[in-house]
Amino acid sequence: MVDVFPVIEGGRWPAKAVVGEVIPVRATVFRDGHEHVGGSVVLIDPRGEERPPVSMREIAPGLDVWQARVAPDVEGRWRFRVEGWSNPYSTWRKDASVKIDAGVDVEVMLTEGALLLRRAAEQPGLPARAITALLDGAAGLDDDARPAHARLAAGIDPSIGEIFREFPLRDLLSASAEYPLIVHRKEALFASWYEFFPRSEGAHQREDGTWVSGTFSTAAKRLPGIAKMGFDVVYLTPIHPVGRTHRKGRNNTLTALPGDPGSPYGIGSPAGGHDATHPDLGTKKDFASFVARARELGMEVALDIALQASPDHPWVAEHPDWFTIRADGSIAYAENPPKKYQDIYPVNFDTDPEGIYAEIHRILQEWIDLGVTAFRVDNPHTKPLPFWERLLADIAAEHPDVLFLSEAFTKPAMMKTLATIGFHQSYTYFTWRNSKEEVADYLVEVSGDQAAVMRPSFWPTTHDILTPYMQQGGVPAFAIRAILAATGSPLWGIYSGYEFAESVARPGAEEQIDNEKYEYRPRDWEAAKEIGISDLLTRLNTIRREHPALHQLRNLTVQHSSNEAILAFSKHLPARFHPEGHNETIIVILTLDPFTEREGMVFFDMAALGLSEDAAFEARDLLGGEVYTWSREAFVRLHPHHTAAHIVSVRPIGGSSWLT
């Protein structure tokens, strides 16, 4: 065997999966001569116990590429190997068919077949029904009172072939090396995130126009509404004290007015740093109560970790060597030309790597002790990779359930490497993929081989990002992108205010006007109901939760459609991997045009749906409730204001049935 996959840098880092995730294992399997070969995958669970071999199937005839799909069932550090072997039954089947048709070595071939079937019947662990079928087949091959072709038919009956596929004879077996596979909890791949600024929830103005910040207590009042929409994770932007030196004002102005709260990413003041809560929000005890309330509602809390400091951070006085000192003696502030962040000092990880590492580890531990189970890490690509590799490994060893989301909108190689060395989830370029071709290509990319290390989280907007598509498309754009994000990836999230389709940009920037990073933004959540996005989010999360095919990433197939603005894709989950033991296929068809009605034909790859080429099926729309009868081709008409998409559940009808 060569080209074993998924293997990351020869096994230096483990490939990734979650409990119940269906993962493809591939290898090129071949041997000398003309004998047929086969391949198997053997999983070794975290206790060191080998699972029964899973037979591979050839997926690229002529190229010797074989694949099996497996699904680890417990968390922990697994290993796997691929075994290649000579396949005597398949070889005999081909040779016997040719020779008996030609009248060559007829008795010898029939006798050899009978011996093979009897040998197969002696395999340990074979079900009684299989033993009986094999012995009956051998007897049929030996029955010289019947014509040769009738005897051959007894040995190559489809039921016999199925037994050999499940319980093959494996001669001259050879094995690959064993490779690592890390299996995380399911929420590392399947979750719905909701981001909000706790200081905005409950914030209000006094009569004199000054603002009173929201608190953890007032923010907790928003949690039932978030839970009702079906979100699993509440993600809070930084909750730490904010510096005053060079504090940014509204809309990122350089001068803050009295009462401007400043960017929560300008972390640190005399009240404390990354291990403290902002005094306006409340105490750590108040934060723990917030976490407890979220848990009561079935949600976990993710905290934003931004490893940087305001000029007022205690680190600046206690560890000035942790920053970059310029030639004039000043500390360098953050820049991302043309953007300047005068209120932020980047940490220089090269000056005292051990001291900085110990401090960051201590800080994370404090928040974990208070109930935080996930961290969204701001700009991890600007910090050293060895730092992350060590930190993530140490936290995983101590707290394997804690998850890290990488917010790295950077070069693909860096994004993938951050995922490879330990980040559980990753922000993506999804936000900027808008055309049919762009979206289709990106869905194929993130659900393909890259998924062995990188789990994509789809966000239509963030507090930093408001793309031209979202600025110009109105409410339909917000609906379309929510549907696409929620179904295109098992991981997705929205930024608070999405329910209002907030789409006015700050001039010259791809972010909202009156940005919440620089001011309080309390919202009237009752008023949001009139827009309809809240109901859509609720429906999407319900559909996701109820349909395990949408819990998977690597089962996506882009389907062909005739209209340049209509995208179609499907997700199929075979019965052997489904929690309830039945086949499931979900088809998503949506318009990418937020302005006009679109119509066209969708042409299905039926095998990707788990159906035969001539099958008919019932397509039940999980969004609207309509039921359609479709086959290989279907006509659709989509309107962005009332039927922007079909999310359909597939059920064979008539004589159609699922492929095995």
Catalytic positions, written as ranges: 378, 407
Question: Which tokens sit at 590?
Answer: 């949506």
CA atoms of 262 and 44, how far apart (whole Å)? 52
By the 8 A CB rule, do 96 and 155 touch? yes
CA atoms of 109 and 91, how far apart (whole Å)? 11
SS3 473: coil
CA atoms of 599 and 592, how far apart (whole Å)? 12
Which residues, 6+ apart, have CB-to-CB distance to 364 below 8 Å? Answer: 305, 375, 391, 395
Torsion over CA: 645, 647, 653, 657 (sign): positive
CA atoms of 509 and 515, how far apart (whole Å)? 11
CB 451: neighbour CB atoms within 10 A? Answer: 25
By the 8 A CB rule, do 97 and 58 touch? no
456-458/491-495 β-pairing? parallel
Count, residues in the chain: 660
DSSP 498: G
Question: Which tokens sit at 213?
Answer: 């910040």
DSSP 450: G
By the 8 A CB rule, do 18 and 190 touch? yes
Peptide bond into 338 cis (omega under 30): yes
Which residues, 6+ apart, have CB-to-CB distance to 526 below 8 Å? Answer: none
State the amino acid at position 29 in one-letter form: V
Of 589, 644, 584, 577, give the one whose Cα is nearest residue 617.
584
Residue with tokens 């293997």: 7
DSSP 48: S
CA atoms of 386 and 383, how far apart (whole Å)? 9
Residue with tokens 């917000």: 478
Exposure string over 471-489, b if 16+ CB within 10 A, otherwise e: eebebbbbbbbbbbbbbbb
Burial (Cβ within 10 Å: 0-12, 13-18, ≥19) of residue 30 = middle
Which phi and psi (to 5°) does residue 35 adopt? Answer: -65, 145
Order of strands, sheet of 556-561, starting from the edge strand that comes earlier in the sequence? 627-630, 616-621, 645-653, 584-591, 566-573, 556-561, 598-603, 633-638
CA atoms of 599 and 350, how far apart (whole Å)? 57
Q: Which segments of 20-157 does DSSP mark as H helices, in order?
A: 88-102, 106-121, 128-142, 148-155
C-alpha angle 522/428/10, rounded to 5°?
145
Peptide bond into 6 cis (omega under 30): yes
> Angle between the 474-488 and 436-447 helix axes, to the nearest 10 degrees?
20
